[in-house]
Structure 1
């Protein structure tokens, strides 16, 4: 999509959200209430705008087209680059592209978030999540290392997992060069990226460390083996659809048995004890809601400190909708605040399994 077209569509969308509330409600339609929840007007208006634009589902074409369309959409909904945040592109282990975000006047030896973008393991990139990472860097006052892990179907499971684990270990080993405190490195991500962050935490913990100091999990996929109530309730009409999820999984898993692997479905891990503290945010109108909340309960039962926050009036993907309305940013301000607090008050001793008493 030409930059001029993106700019025009972005201006039109922002103008739509700038209308008086009464007019926005008329355009969006009657309030949507489902499962004792009411969809936020900002979210309903976004869905209505997509409907009026007659945008095809991401899963209706090839992965290449879906990647192109997601990038174009991200440039419209995420807005102008958030400043002041400095960036530096780098390569992890000579093969994995990454970008380091440093907010203005952040001292050396700060906390660091290793971030994995969403996109069903098939789409998404550093560029689609550029402003998401800028937002977290600025408002959580942390450095952010965004990782361009390999995508399916060119690189199916477990290639993305291997890149995610390598990225965290790289960040720990190269903390000084990144300006980070090696005892305050978190992992995080949205959707598929949240899945990767959980897997990194599990694998490094079971290996005996070093392991992350904190997990920031935004509407993560956690169990590909179960048909949950939220997957039935929100199968259509709320941005992420059942067809999308089937399309993503069909590209990511080479065989059905892959879904039983805890590196694919981390909720199936036999031992969750000793994992880093976690913030898990779910969206009320999201097919992935129930599996994220079930994973939070599993962590609690294993003795892991966890904060579960259901954004009951939101949809999947809200971390990328920073330039429209106000409700999506409100949810991300909460995530940034919890991340900052979790890293500042968390344990500062060695992050190896032995020091954690395992």
Structure 2
């Protein structure tokens, strides 16, 4: 495994991160992702406005954060739903804040970040249901949110990529595009890339096994809405961009999902980011590839939303 000097520097830094007073492995995983994101994401871009809202459900609320890009009229704006990663057990507003700000400004779209419930406190399908219900609420309230209900896309990274892929099979007719960033597409963890990168960088197999066990109840272990590589019917899945990282244990699972979508007739573009590791989108402090990926996603969004920059 040949790593670039910047990636080596990042991995050396990650080895030194000690989560503050973790109560257990779950708490440690959550704090580790927060620390990594805060320390490596780089300077946060200013946006016009950030609003936090709660979508009322029968027994709970779904927190959402609305990012309005700088220099854009708030009326009738295109919108992008963002579903975050974190192995289904971690992540939230702060871990993805820097990335989402970049995407808002570069795409010129309102980004709606859904802070879905996490496992193990809330196993599958809680996160999927929150994602689906959050999007339904956005569509129903498009006018008051100042967005165009006919110009909505979805982006998901890692575990959020798995959720986005499932969402798109259910609500694809409402979505103009989908972007999956190194998606967590399979729970078997038995691919060649998992064998190669069993001990990292960034992810390791033991942590993956633990996360899937927390997320997925036994009776759901063959549910394609939880495990995207099992999806047979992609229904109205919109044009899709898949971004993969070379030194990532999830690489082969992402490739397999891309291949399945292509074979199902979905319009798909797959791009492998050479030399990159899982989670590289959080490493903008040192990696110029983060901006390259943001630029690529923005171009894909513009192409499929068909609006002028």
Same fold (TM over 0.5): yes
Who wins on radius of gyration, i.e. which is larger?
1
Instruction: Identify which of 103, 112, 124 aligns with 1:136.
Output: 103
Q: Which residue of 2 aligns with 1:97?
A: 63
2: CA distance between counterparts of 1:250 and 1:324?
Answer: 33
Instruction: Identify which of 262, 265, 281 aligns with 1:300.
Output: 262
2:225 matches 1:251: no
2: CA distance between counterparts of 1:141 and 1:344?
Answer: 12
CA shift, 1:139, in A, is 0.9
Question: Following TM superposition, where does structure 1 have runs of at least 4 consecutive aligned residues deviating by more than 4 angstroms?
Answer: none
2:197 matches 1:234: yes
Q: Which residue of 2 aligns with 1:19?
A: none
Q: Which residue of 1 aligns with 2:44?
A: 81
2:234 matches 1:272: yes
CA shift, 1:287, in A, is 0.8
What is the correspondence of 1:195-210 to structure 2 with a 5 Å cutoff?
A: 195-205=162-172, 209=173
CA shift, 1:99, in A, is 0.4
What is the correspondence of 1:31-180 to structure 2 with a 5 Å cutoff?
A: 32-33=1-2, 39-51=3-15, 53=16, 55=18, 61-93=24-56, 95-107=61-73, 108-180=75-147
2:182 matches 1:219: yes
Q: Which range moved further: 136-145 or 237-246?
A: 237-246
Length, aligned pairs only: 301
2: CA distance between counterparts of 1:321 and 1:169?
Answer: 32
Q: Secondary structure at the match of 1:128?
A: helix
Q: Which residue of 1 aligns with 2:286?
A: 324
CA shift, 1:112, in A, is 0.6
CA shift, 1:127, in A, is 1.4
Structure 2: gaps (5+ residues):
none
TM-score, normalized by length of structure 2? 0.91
2: CA distance between counterparts of 1:236 and 1:89?
Answer: 38
Q: Secondary structure at the match of 1:129?
A: helix
8 A Cα contact 2:142 2:149, kept in partner:
yes
CA shift, 1:54, in A, is 5.9
CA displacement 1:16-51 (0-9 Å, x = unmatched)? xxxxxxxxxxxxxxxx43xxxxx3332222112223
CA displacement 1:223-260 (0-9 Å, x = unmatched)? 224621111111113111112211211211121x4231
Q: Secondary structure at the match of 1:120?
A: coil
1: CA distance between counterparts of 2:7 and 2:286?
Answer: 9
CA shift, 1:72, in A, is 2.5
Structure 1: gaps (5+ residues):
1-31, 34-38, 346-358
Q: Secondary structure at the match of 2:306?
A: helix
CA shift, 1:273, in A, is 4.1
CA displacement 1:184-243 (0-9 Å, x = unmatched)? 1111111001111111101224xxx4x311101100111224621111111113111112
2: CA distance between counterparts of 1:67 and 1:177?
Answer: 34
TM-score, normalized by length of structure 1? 0.79
The 3 A distance-change label for structure 1 pair 179 and 191 is: same
8 A Cα contact 1:113 1:185, kept in partner:
yes
1: CA distance between counterparts of 2:247 and 2:28?
Answer: 26
Q: Secondary structure at the match of 1:127?
A: helix
Q: CA RMSD in A?
A: 1.9
8 A Cα contact 2:200 2:249, kept in partner:
no
1: CA distance between counterparts of 2:266 and 2:36?
Answer: 37
